[in-house]
Amino acid sequence: MGDTLLKIGICGGTFDPIHTGHLAVAELVRCEYGLDRVLFIPSGMPPHKSLEDVTAPVHRLNMVKCAVGSNSSFEAMAIEIERSGYTYTVDTLKELHRRYPEGTEFNYIIGADVLLDLLTWRNAREVFKLTDFIAVMRPGFSDEAFNKRLAELKREYEINIRSFEIPLLDISSTFIRDRIKAGKSVKYLVKEEVEEYIIKNKLYQQ
């Protein structure tokens, strides 16, 4: 690779299910920042959610694989699902640093609201040393708390955080699950392959 730096984007979450909003945001960020790959990493046992409220990891991973298969720059990773116990971002980042060449640049893609909670993440200071952040915002987003936290993190922790405005994509996994429970269509909200997987495996039904 010479002096060329490998630039990796990271999209984490429960992906229950992954939807077109996730994919569109990842592609917009990838193009804007010249990322070589975007890794989609479904969580195994997220510490902030009850297991009863989350679909089995194997289904969520398979749906991610269905969703990203047509984009050669996207990759589904089972790194957190394969880990026993609760899954924390700091452990995932350490493993990614072991797997990728030294000098690889990691960019964790988060929603603007997540920025406010970064200091509550496990071993936050270590996380900040292992990755940069790209905070995506809706059009016209302006929040005093967000701007204050952004300045604080950059000043006190020397984190590299870039903010990026995305088009309004008001889709959520909760909205999709609720529509499926109600017997309504989710066409175009999820990729066809994901919709077929949901139907085949009878996910999110009453």
Look at 188 and 140; give whichever has higher pLDDT: 188
Separation CA 141–CA 45 (nearest Å): 31
Looking at the predicted structure, is the pLDDT value of residue 4 above 60? no
pLDDT at 147: 87
Look at 111 and 3; give whichever has higher pLDDT: 111
What does the pLDDT look like over 90-116, one tens digit per residue? 999 999 999 999 999 999 999 998 998
Domains of the chain are 7-170 (3.40.50.620)
How far does the chain reach from its first CA to its final CA, in angstroms? 51
Quick one: average pLDDT of 164-179?
Answer: 92
What does the pLDDT look like over 62-90, one tens digit per residue? 999 999 999 999 999 999 999 988 889 99
Cβ(53)–Cβ(5) below 8 Å? no
pLDDT at 50: 60
Note the pTM of the prediction, 2 decimals: 0.93
Which amino acid type is present at position 44?
G
pLDDT band, very low/low/confident/very high, at 45 (cuts 50, 70, 90) = confident
Looking at the predicted structure, is the pLDDT value of residue 206 above 80? no
What does the pLDDT look like over 146-159, one tens digit per residue? 888 899 999 999 99
- List phi, psi (to 5°) of 71: -115, 115
pLDDT band, very low/low/confident/very high, at 1 (cuts 50, 70, 90) = very low
pLDDT at 108: 98
**CA 72 vs CA 36, 75, 91, 120, 138: distances in Å:** 10, 8, 26, 34, 27
